[in-house]
Every structure is written in C-alpha cells, then in structure tokens.
C-alpha cells in the first residue's frame, strides 16, 4: 500500500523517474528531448523492478512529462534526443519542432481561456447585490432604522462560529508549512496558503500567472498571493 501511494499521481512517477534516470528526466528546469520509442525501454527497465508501477500508469506519466511546457520548449532543430542513460541517439527535425510548437501554442491557449473563465466566475461571486428596502422601511432622510431581528442575528453568529471551526480544521501552523516549487503546481492543485497570522489555510489553485497565484480557500474566499506563500 505504501508503494502504491508513492505513485498515486503522474507527478509522483515523474519524480521517481528523475531520481532513477537523472540524465534523462528532470523535475524542473531545462528538459532534453527524449528518444523516440523510449517508452519500451522504460517499461522494460522499470516495470520488472517496480511491479506496483503498471505500464498504463507509466505511459500516463510519460505523456504528462512530454506535454509540459518546458519539455515542448526544448525542441530546437538539431537538438539531441537522449535515451534513459543520457546518451545522444538522434536529433530533432524541423517537422518535429513544428509539431511541438503547435502543441505548445494550443496548450497555452487552452490555459488562458480556462484562466479567463475562472476569473470571470470569481468576479461574479463577489458582485454585490443591490439593497432592497422593505415595505415597512422609511426612505426619507433621518428615518428610523428597522429593529434588529434577534433570531436572525443569533443564527448569523452561529454560522460565523461554524465557519470559524471549519477554517481551523483545514489549516496548519506555520511551523508545519513547507514552501513548494511553484512550477510543480497547476490549476486544480490542492495547496496551503499563508494568509497572515499563524495559520496556513487549505486552498485550491484557480489561476496561475507570472508573479501571482489565484486560490480559492476552503472558506470560499478567492484571493491572489505571491508564489512564496504557496506550500503544502
């Protein structure tokens, strides 16, 4: 069970491959184009030694790796392709550069559209509804304020207390907060965010920009923070 949890996501498998084949795979930074047909070599050398890692999951991880932006950006005409041991076995052709460039442009376009959609949704969430006066409320200047509804105020306080409990239950102390590499985070990732004070709050990434990350806290609040405040 422990080994299965170790490979629960494609990102986990890529980290494992980068550790096992450091001259071929990288977690972050500049990538090298991979040898065509590398999956067969990978399956032969990995699956036998690591039976809990199936060929299907290995294939998904390889696809995840080869569709990342930093991998597609590595395609330059004449650049060397490498095998699992880092040996140069082939070179990138002009046609392959064109294909990688188109995939990169498509991926970035989809990301931008998704980000715009999420931003629009976040703005709608914070639109204030106009205040509507009741029939019994006076509109003249100096009119009396309506009496407070004690039952409603009590319910409001109860909701605030409940929300406060939920907030604490999904937060960690700053001493347990661990900053993460922002390049390993994508829209939809679950993270913790330093929001001030002594707590880091659980959140979901909804926007990725150059110098800012948009997140939705477990409380429903949407905020934007600098990458150094994102962690686990």
User: Domain map of the chain by residue range?
Assistant: 2-101, 171-231
What local confidence, expressed as pLDDT, does residue 92 receive?
Answer: 96
Contact 43, 58 (CB under 8 A): yes
Chain CA centroid to CA 192, Å? 11
pTM of full prediction above 0.75: no
Q: Can you tell me the distance from the alpha carbon of 47 to that of 55, in angstroms, rounded to the nearest whole number?
A: 7
Q: Is 210's pLDDT higher than 70?
A: no
pLDDT tens track for 24-82: 999 988 999 999 999 999 999 998 899 889 999 999 999 999 999 999 999 999 999 99
Fold of 171-231: SH3 type barrels. (2.30.30)
What local confidence, expressed as pLDDT, does residue 165 receive?
Answer: 41
Percent of the residues in the chain that have a pLDDT greater than 70, as a whole number: 74
What local confidence, expressed as pLDDT, does residue 164 receive?
Answer: 41
Please count the helices (runs of H) and the strands (runs of E) in the chain: 7, 8
Band of residue 21 on the pLDDT scale cut at 50, 70, 90: very high
What local confidence, expressed as pLDDT, does residue 48 receive?
Answer: 85
CATH 1.10.287.180 correct for 2-101: no
First to last CA, the chain: 22
Band of residue 105 on the pLDDT scale cut at 50, 70, 90: very high
Q: Is 208's pLDDT higher than 50?
A: yes
Give yes or no on whether 2-101 and 171-231 have one common fold: no
Q: Can you tell me the distance from the alpha carbon of 195 to that of 177, in angstroms, rounded to the nearest whole number?
A: 12
Which one, of 186, 161, 156, lies nearest residue 64 by Cα? 186
By mean pLDDT, which of 57-61, 127-131, 185-189 is the weakest?
127-131
DSSP 3-state percent helix, strand, coil across the chain (nearest 5): 45, 15, 40
pLDDT tens track for 155-178: 445 444 444 443 444 567 666 778
Band of residue 197 on the pLDDT scale cut at 50, 70, 90: low
Q: Can you tell me the distance from the alpha carbon of 191 to that of 203, in angstroms, rounded to the nearest whole number?
A: 5
Q: Can you tell me the distance from the alpha carbon of 19 to that of 14, in angstroms, rounded to the nearest whole number?
A: 9
How much is the mean pLDDT over the chain?
80
pLDDT greater at residue 159 or residue 89: 89
Highest-pLDDT range among 118-132, 155-169, 182-196 = 182-196
Q: Is 214's pLDDT higher than 60?
A: yes
What local confidence, expressed as pLDDT, does residue 129 receive?
Answer: 57
């Amino acid at each position: 069970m422990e080994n299965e949890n170790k490979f629960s996501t494609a990102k986990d498998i890529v980290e494992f491959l980068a550790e096992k084949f450091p001259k071929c795979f990288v977690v972050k930074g500049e990538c090298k184009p991979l040898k065509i047909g590398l999956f067969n070599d990978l399956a032969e050398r990995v699956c036998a030694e690591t039976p809990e890692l199936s060929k299907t999951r290995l294939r998904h991880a390889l696809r995840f790796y080869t569709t990342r932006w930093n991998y597609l950006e590595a395609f330059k005409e004449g650049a060397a392709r490498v095998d699992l041991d880092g040996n140069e076995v082939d070179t990138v052709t002009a046609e392959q550069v064109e294909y990688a460039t188109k995939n990169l442009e498509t991926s970035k376009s989809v990301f931008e559209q998704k980000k715009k959609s999420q931003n629009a949704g976040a703005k709608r969430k914070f639109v204030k509804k106009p205040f509507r006066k009741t029939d019994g409320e006076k509109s003249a200047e100096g009119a009396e304020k309506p009496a407070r509804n004690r039952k409603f105020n009590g319910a409001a306080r109860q909701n605030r207390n409940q929300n406060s409990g939920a907030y604490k239950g999904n937060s960690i102390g700053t001493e347990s907060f661990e900053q993460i590499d922002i390049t390993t985070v994508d829209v939809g990732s679950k993270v913790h965010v330093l929001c001030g004070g002594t707590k880091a709050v659980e959140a979901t990434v909804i926007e990725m920009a150059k110098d800012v990350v948009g997140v939705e806290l477990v409380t429903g609040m949407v905020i934007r923070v600098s990458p150094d405040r994102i962690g686990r």
